[in-house]
Amino acid sequence: MNSKRNKGTSNGFEPAVGKLVLLGTPIGNLSDLSERAIQVLASADVIAAEDTRRLRVLLSHCRIASKNIISIDSNKEVQMSSKVLDLISSGKTVVYTTDAGMPGISDPGGELIKAVVKAGLPVDAVPGPSAAILAASMSGLCEHGFSFVGFLPVKPGPRKKSLENLSSSGFAVIVFESPKRMGQTLSDVSEVYGGDHPVFVGRELTKMHQEIFFGNVAGAVERFGGDPQRGEFVMVLGANEVDESVSLGARTLELVMEALSGTGAGTRALAEELSEITGVGKNRIYDMLIQAQGKAVETSVRL
């Protein structure tokens, strides 16, 4: 039996395996890059970047040179996933960075992560700056939680519909917006939430020309609603108070419809959830649903 270790393997029998490391990069101020992040960049076998030019600026700031760099933007994620898998399988550590912030948060990275996980290969992350978390902290509006939706739909109709749905969630809402659409979005926000609704707006956060606004929607419209703005925006809309009885009533109706249509969870599971909402015994509700389902089937047959 040959006991000689294979070159490039970890134990002589199994091939060495690397990993994918997601690395958060500064959203503006390069000094926000952590010491750990710099160490990971310096030790990476390969650095994959959404924009290699932005990455080279960052590496120069960190005085890191002679790295193996590949380009993976949103258009290349799927086709480049196989290359990344090959690199990781051969023992390489591949660090993935986007232009700013954390990969996968309104940035590329999701498809790459899923491909690596599906292949059973390791994924790690080095936390870094995030405009969404920074805005949540600074706004003072997210103490009871928030919904982060990234960029709203570009078209006016879907954008307004999204805002209407978000306004009834009971949570503060964090959105990103481009400078060319900020005025249009604020107009929709004013229509859906009202001019007196509390809002936080951050423009170019952590950058030289950072601008921060605390106030209401009407004030935000006055300040940022004019023609072409500059820079990237993040906005936090305070939570609307939601009538819990209306919310529970809607959920009850939804569960009943699921039971009658045969969609969703099984009848017993639906009965348990309805019991929690209504306070009626789950066995009694289960019997009522079974009876209603039978009548629905009978009616369907007659038709």
Q: Residue 50 above 60 pLDDT?
A: yes
Residues 156 and 253 in one domain: no
DSSP 264: S
Whether 28 and 118 share a structural domain: yes
Tens digits of residue pLDDT in 171-194: 999 999 999 999 999 999 999 999
User: What is the sign of the dihedral through the CA atoms of 193, 196, 202 and 208?
Assistant: positive
93 plus 145 within the same structural domain: no
| Distances in whole angstroms, Cα of residue 128 to Cα of each of 24, 38, 183, 250 | 4, 11, 30, 39
Residue 263's pLDDT is what? 65
Instruction: Say if 13 falls within a structural domain.
Output: no
Q: Which residue type occupies 184?
A: Q
Q: Residue 78 corresponds to which tokens in the numbers above?
A: 């799927």
CATH number for the domain including 210?
A: 3.30.950.10
Q: What are residue 200's DSSP bridge partners?
A: 214, 236
Residue at 116: amino acid letter: V
Do residues 112 and 28 share a domain?
Answer: yes
122-68-117 Cα angle (round to 5):
15
Could you read off the pLDDT of 5-28 as tens digits, one per residue?
344 444 455 567 899 999 999 999
* Least confident span in 48-52, 165-169, 232-236: 165-169
Q: Is 211 part of a structural domain of the chain?
A: yes
Q: Which two tokens stand for residue 113?
A: 């992560």
Question: Mind listing the pLDDT tens digit for each residue in 96-121?
Answer: 999 999 999 999 999 999 999 999 99
Model confidence at 68, in pLDDT bands (50, 70, 90)? Answer: very high
Q: Percentage of the chain surpassing pLDDT 70?
A: 87
Instruction: With a cut of 80, say whether residue 122 has pLDDT above it.
Output: yes
Domain ranges, residue 282: 244-302
**Residue 185 falls within a domain, yes or no?**
yes
Kindly state whether residues 51 and 103 are assigned to the same domain.
Answer: yes
Buried b (16+ CB within 10 A) or exposed e, 174-206: bbbbeeebbbebbebbbebbeeebbbbbbbbbb
Unique residue bearing structure tokens 């399988």: 89
Residue 81 domain-assigned (yes or no):
yes
Structure confidence at residue 299 (pLDDT)? 53
Cβ contacts of 260 within 8 Å, gap of 6 or more: 289, 292, 293, 296
Final residue of a structural domain among 129, 162, 194: 129
Model confidence band, residue 41 (pLDDT cutoffs 50, 70, 90): very high
Q: What is the pLDDT of residues 262-273, one digit of tens each?
A: 666 688 887 887
Last residue of a domain, one of 83, 106, 129: 129
Residues 104 and 63 in one domain: yes
For residues 179 and 168, state if they share a domain.
yes
Last residue of one domain, picked from the residues 213, 237, 261: 237
CATH number at residue 125: 3.40.1010.10
Task: Provide the pLDDT confidence category of residue 298 given band limits of 50, 70 and 90.
Answer: low
72 and 27 within one domain: yes
Q: Do residue 218 and residue 257 come from a single domain? A: no
Q: Inform me whether the pLDDT recorded for 1 exceeds 90.
A: no
Structure tokens at 27: 């959203």
The letter for the amino acid at 282 is: K
Domain total of the chain: 3
Is residue 16 within 8 Å of residue 38, measured between CB atoms? no
Rounded Cα gap, residues 173 and 136, in angstroms: 9
User: Within a domain: residue 61?
Assistant: yes
Tell me whether residue 46 is in a domain: yes
Report yes or no: 92 and 19 within 8 Å, Cβ to Cβ.
Answer: no
Give the list of residues 6+ apart from residue 292 with CB closer than 8 angstroms, or none.
Answer: 256, 259, 260
Q: Would you state the pLDDT for residue 111?
A: 94
User: Looking at the domain assignment, is residue 11 inside a domain?
Assistant: no
Instruction: Report which of residues 252 and 238 the model is more confident about.
Output: 238
Give the mean pLDDT of the chain. 87
Q: How confident is the model at residue 244 (pLDDT cuts 50, 70, 90)?
A: low
Q: Is residue 125 part of a domain?
A: yes
